[in-house]
Amino acid sequence: MKILAISGSARGVSTNTALLRAMQELVPDGMTLMVFDQIGSLPIFSPDHEAEKTPAAVLALMAQVAQADGVIISSPEYVRAIPGGMKNLIDWMVSRAEIIHKPIALVHASHRGADMLASMRLVLSTVSSRFLEQHFLSLPLVGKSPEEVRVALGQADVRTRVIQFLQGLAQEIARCASVPAEDLP
């Protein structure tokens, strides 16, 4: 099972990226988790640059989305909202087929951000018929360095929560795969 984990942060030492990278070490057997942390490399979305004019960076990301069995998104909140780079990435996906029936789950590297998460849930449920709203992991990691995040995920209780999240995600993806897209509402 292939999972694409998208970091919604353009920051070099992002807590969200660090969380996704640390999660790579905890994936269950039979699962791979690839991290996309180049959100800042995507050009600003414009409908004038879709179809045959789609930029190479966007096409490369969409190929990764197409190959994935599921997607995890971890994003910071900026001013109680979805950061511009993350919204830009979603805007690139909204009219493309790769994401429409793709299972998507959220992880959050903070104990706050309810407004951004509510907005993210609304947007993701619009772009994918298989947004897994109830399958969610939140860890209080705000302000931690990548090394501190890795250490935090090594703690038994946190490690167990992450592993359970990933195992549950695998189950949800398998469940989604058993329901044909044409049978979805």
How confident is the model over 90-111, as pLDDT tens digits?
999 998 999 999 999 999 999 9
What is the reported pLDDT for 185? 58
pLDDT tier for residue 180 given thresholds of 50, 70 and 90 = confident
Backbone angles phi, psi at 80, to 5 degrees: 65, 25
24 neighbors 150 (Cβ within 8 angstroms): no
Q: Is the pLDDT of residue 131 over 80?
A: yes
- CATH, range 2-183: 3.40.50.360
Over the stretch 46-104, which tens digit does the pLDDT of each residue have? Answer: 999 999 999 999 999 999 999 999 999 999 999 999 999 999 999 999 989 999 999 99
DSSP-assigned letters across all residues of 88-114:
HHHHHHTTSGGGTT--EEEEESSS--H
**pTM to 2 decimal places:** 0.95
Residues 6 or more apart whose CB falls under 8 angstroms from that of 121 comprise: 106, 131, 133
Q: Is the pLDDT of residue 184 over 70?
A: no
In the chain, what percentage of residues exceed pLDDT 90? 93
What is the reported pLDDT for 181? 73
What is the reported pLDDT for 43? 97
Q: Is the pLDDT of residue 179 over 90?
A: no
